[in-house]
Structure 1
Amino acid sequence: MGKKTLTGMALTATMVFLAACSVNMGEGTESKTPEATKSGVAETAKSGEPAATQPKKVVFWHAMGGANTKVVDQLVADYNASQNKIKVEAVFQGTYDDLLSKLKASMGTNDGPSVVQMYEIGSRFMIDSKAITPMQKFIDADKWDISQLEPNIAGYYTLEGKLYSMPFNTSNPILYYNKDLFKAAGLDPAKPPKTFEELKSAADAITKSGKAVGANFAIYGWFMEQFFANQGAEYVNNGNGRTSIATQSLVNTEPGVKVLTWWKDLIDTKAANNLGRKTDDSKKAFSAGQVGMILESTAALKGLVDSASGKFEVGTSFLPKPADAKEGGVVVGGASLWVMNNRPDDEQQATWDFIKFLTTPKEQAYWHVNTGYFPISKKAYDEDLVKENLKKFPQFQTAIDQLHQTKLNTATQGAVMGVFPEARQVVEGAIEEVLNNKKSPKEALDAAEKEITSKIQIYNKTVK
């Protein structure tokens, strides 16, 4: 993700309850008999042709819009051309939020997909729905070598030693900075800030130069989650919801207060400005040379470098953290692929074959170069396509190094909770209150913790 979650995605207890009522709760109530459906998921024989001779149909629901839709379609076309026993149909379903709503509506019917892309913060819901077959089942049965995956990427989707879904589009946040503005402010463009304190000093210098505002960070809950992980801090209790189900938000603990206090000081001293929640507004201001530093997803790198071409040189650096922070790292964002368990066994097996194809180094290299998302396969970096791309966009080495230097633990694996999309919106509201001088950092985060914890507990009761 690193992709902006749209508002209105809240997983209220009522929605969860309704979804749970329509889900196969693992008791084998769904029919395994293929039949025609309006979604075209099940097999139907062509006129005069035995069904057994037709390729098995796999329907893939995804949320990759814009130029990325074409990349997904090409991956699917490549797979379909590689063999004749399985035919995958990719169906774009809108935003992540739209996709989740459509998936919920399809649960308990034969109208849903064989495999669905779900953003990372929907992981707890997908597991609790009991509507999926864990990826680990296919991995174990096939004796598939899971070590070929990037461990810090697979780690997010692994709970209790089990990989529940296959990582697909993966990103993390990095600091982007304008090297020309650094020079104009008397800063060394080869030495970007690594700490909160260094960033404040650099932002002050850029603002005082009169060339631009020092920095801008979009009000995005994902950044707060990342700042926690980068301090080695957990975002919810019970091992970030990984040793057992999360029951309490920790957003109001010291790491969170430290982040908001620093952020507000940047705004108050004019070292940074506030352009609101839209990450696109932050990117536009950076590309126009109006701000010296922004935080953004690694998936935005190619677009930012291209937009600055001929105007200024883009530099990249690790996500900053307090100078006294504990050892931490970044959490991967994006989405993964989930196999739906109400599909016939042979369809699920066909889906697994498609997923394996997507993980191959060649396909991962193509995916990475054309979208900006990380390859999930370690061997993809050996592909010439990736090597050439790194020569063209050397800034991406920052993202690779940051990912590889992150030590996997419960903090950097990322939090898991059933109301994560809603919690993210609550945190964004708290950040706004602080930056707009309505509440102190501690007051705003205390209120956010109380609201999120209440929603977590309601969700947990509903799931039980």
Structure 2
Amino acid sequence: MRKFTRRGMLGMASVAMMLMVSACGGTTTDSSDAATTAKPQGNDTSASSKTKVVWWHSMGGALGKEVDQLVADFNKSQDKVQVEAVFQGTYDESINKMKASMDSDSGPSMIQVYEIGSRFMIDSKAITPVQQFIDQDKYDVSQLEENITRYYTFDGKQYSMPFNTSNPILYYNKDLFKAAGLDPEKPPTTYEEVKKDAEVLSKQGHPASFAIYGWFMEQLFANQGKEYLNNGNGRTSPATQSLVNSEAGVKTLEWWKSMIDNKSVINLGRKTDDTEKAFIAGQIAMTLDSTASLREIVDGSDGKFKVGTAFLPKPQSASDGGVVVGGASLWILNNKPEAEQKAAWEFIKYLAEPTTQAKWHIATGYFPITKKAYDEQIVKDNLTKYPQFQTAIDQLHASKPSTATQGAVMGVFPEARQTVEGAIEEVLSGSKPPQKALDDAAKTITDKIGTYNKTVQK
């Protein structure tokens, strides 16, 4: 296995600086529970004969406790590997700490990285693709959800293993729908239907609201079957141009702005936390949010109103599309001994087991990445309690395989996402028309991609 050296990392210095920019303008389940301190977990100093695996992750708060439990369960399940989980802050902070650690032995054996960091991880040449271990073990990847693993597959090679996975759905208040004379069992599925229903609901004092979140724009492109970047969304070859100013983007912002103008949609800013709170309080009748927020939303509205869920909307005239997975995956670092890398792979396999995935799904709301997890009784019971999650499952499975739904990849995704959020704000505030705002955003992103590509090529 090829080791990663300081010389190979020097060319990436300016690239890592790009990742200092926050990945998300909105606050999602994937990042909002971050704890403030790092506390190693699962470390057993008496297990000196075991191969130690250090796992850097970005799951804080309640999610961090679930990670600790996964590690403790694995360490008890066998006597050859000892995993130590260490919280490293946000995804951006964790990646930059990884880079800083490469000149020493202080870095991790494996690291959790958000999906939009995938291009950077590959270009860093700091990792061993999990495909290598899959091939060595003859590991059956057919047991995994293809619409999840496709994101982390490049040129037929799987580079990392999905861990926490989500996508966005439409949430709506069934009680408000009924009170407004709308059928609570027939939610809107197109831009046109969303606009029509929002107008009816707003007349009753309950408009809709969607957070200004770049992730949503990416998803609305994919749902129209449209690519966000050139060169097959950056998958047939590295992307060189942003396509955010194409018809799919303009049509989306024209739709969004028209609802702002007639006050059927209100602007609550960039944070999904704010739209979620307004929805749970019954102040807004529809919103977009992550599937990972489903349990929190349903529990928060319990006793107040019934929550309905629906697929992400798209224009009535749009072609087949689907959603792109969000969340993060697990990467194995190549500057560690072969035995340590193989030990990390053993832990990754454990995390993908149906029983493990079932527990993780129930505790967090993230998708199981293993199909057989849905056969576990606790998952069946959970679906009975939270039938709304069936929408998320159906939407994932209904996504038509394409480079659009496989997801865009670029080394400057965190910056690109913020640039798009700025463009959306310009449109909703009326300072720029949709085409102009997206033309400016596309140029900014394209320029940043060019700088990144030059850096990588050095």
Query: Under a length normalisation based on structure 1, what TM-score does the superposition of the two structures give?
Result: 0.89
Which one of the candidate residues 94, 110, 116 is aligned to 1:115?
Answer: 110
Match of 1:32 in 2: none
Match of 1:132 in 2: 127
1:95 aligns with 2:94: no
| CA–CA separation in structure 2 for the residues paired with 1:343 and 1:14 | 21
Match of 2:262 in 1: 269
Match of 1:155 in 2: 150
Summarize the Cα distance change of 1:164–1:90 in structure 2 as closer, same or farther, 3 Å threshold: same
1:426 aligns with 2:419: yes
| CA–CA separation in structure 1 for the residues paired with 2:173 and 2:252 | 23
Which one of the candidate residues 311, 314, 332 is aligned to 1:318?
Answer: 311
For residues 431-459 of structure 1, give each alpha carbon's deviation from its aligned partner in whole angstroms, at most 9, with x where no partner exists. 00000111000000000000000000100
For residues 95-137 of structure 1, give each alpha carbon's deviation from its aligned partner in whole angstroms, at most 9, with x where no partner exists. 1122122122112321110010000000000000000000100
Aligned-residue offset at 1:18: 7.1
| CA–CA separation in structure 2 for the residues paired with 1:155 and 1:18 | 28
Given that 1:19 and 1:104 are in contact with CA atoms closer than 8 Å, whether structure 2 keeps it comes out as no
Correspondence 1:22-421 to 2 at 5 A = 54-210=49-205, 212-213=206-207, 215-421=208-414
Match of 2:14 in 1: 15
Summarize the Cα distance change of 1:282–1:45 in structure 2 as closer, same or farther, 3 Å threshold: closer
Aligned-residue offset at 1:293: 0.3
| CA–CA separation in structure 2 for the residues paired with 1:180 and 1:291 | 12
For residues 276-325 of structure 1, give each alpha carbon's deviation from its aligned partner in whole angstroms, at most 9, with x where no partner exists. 00110000000000000000000000000000000000000000000000
Match of 2:8 in 1: none
| CA–CA separation in structure 1 for the residues paired with 2:320 and 2:286 | 24
| CA–CA separation in structure 2 for the residues paired with 1:86 and 1:384 | 29
Given that 2:18 and 2:412 are in contact with CA atoms closer than 8 Å, whether structure 1 keeps it comes out as no
SS at match of 1:177: strand
| CA–CA separation in structure 2 for the residues paired with 1:344 and 1:13 | 23
SS at match of 1:291: coil
Aligned-residue offset at 1:16: 1.2
- The range that moved more, 61-70 or 217-226, is 61-70
For residues 31-51 of structure 1, give each alpha carbon's deviation from its aligned partner in whole angstroms, at most 9, with x where no partner exists. xxxxxxxx999x9997xxxx9
SS at match of 1:334: strand
Q: Between Structure 1 and Structure 2, how many residues are aligned?
A: 427
Given that 1:13 and 1:459 are in contact with CA atoms closer than 8 Å, whether structure 2 keeps it comes out as no
Match of 1:36 in 2: none
Match of 2:29 in 1: none
SS at match of 1:207: helix
Aligned-residue offset at 1:222: 0.1
Where in structure 2 are there 5+ consecutive unaligned residues? 1-10, 20-38
Given that 1:287 and 1:307 are in contact with CA atoms closer than 8 Å, whether structure 2 keeps it comes out as yes
Match of 2:28 in 1: none
For residues 237-274 of structure 1, give each alpha carbon's deviation from its aligned partner in whole angstroms, at most 9, with x where no partner exists. 00000000100000000000000000001110001000
Given that 2:169 and 2:290 are in contact with CA atoms closer than 8 Å, whether structure 1 keeps it comes out as yes
| CA–CA separation in structure 1 for the residues paired with 2:89 and 2:149 | 25
The letter for the 2-side match of 1:362 is: T
Where in structure 1 are there 5+ consecutive unaligned residues? 1-11, 21-38
- The range that moved more, 191-200 or 61-70, is 61-70
Q: Percent identity among equivalent residues?
A: 67
Aligned-residue offset at 1:408: 1.3
| CA–CA separation in structure 2 for the residues paired with 1:14 and 1:237 | 25
Which one of the candidate residues 416, 440, 444 is aligned to 2:433?
Answer: 440
Task: Please provide the CA RMSD for this pair.
Answer: 2.0
Aligned-residue offset at 1:17: 6.6
Aligned-residue offset at 1:15: 2.9
Match of 1:34 in 2: none
Match of 1:31 in 2: none
Given that 1:341 and 1:348 are in contact with CA atoms closer than 8 Å, whether structure 2 keeps it comes out as yes
The letter for the 1-side match of 2:400 is: K
| CA–CA separation in structure 2 for the residues paired with 1:355 and 1:89 | 13
| CA–CA separation in structure 2 for the residues paired with 1:19 and 1:393 | 40
SS at match of 1:169: strand
| CA–CA separation in structure 1 for the residues paired with 2:387 and 2:417 | 32
The letter for the 2-side match of 1:292 is: A
SS at match of 1:216: coil
Aligned-residue offset at 1:150: 0.1
| CA–CA separation in structure 1 for the residues paired with 2:420 and 2:446 | 12
Summarize the Cα distance change of 1:183–1:18 in structure 2 as closer, same or farther, 3 Å threshold: closer
Summarize the Cα distance change of 1:424–1:209 in structure 2 as closer, same or farther, 3 Å threshold: same
Given that 1:261 and 1:441 are in contact with CA atoms closer than 8 Å, whether structure 2 keeps it comes out as yes
Given that 1:13 and 1:455 are in contact with CA atoms closer than 8 Å, whether structure 2 keeps it comes out as no
Given that 1:45 and 1:54 are in contact with CA atoms closer than 8 Å, whether structure 2 keeps it comes out as no
| CA–CA separation in structure 1 for the residues paired with 2:18 and 2:300 | 42
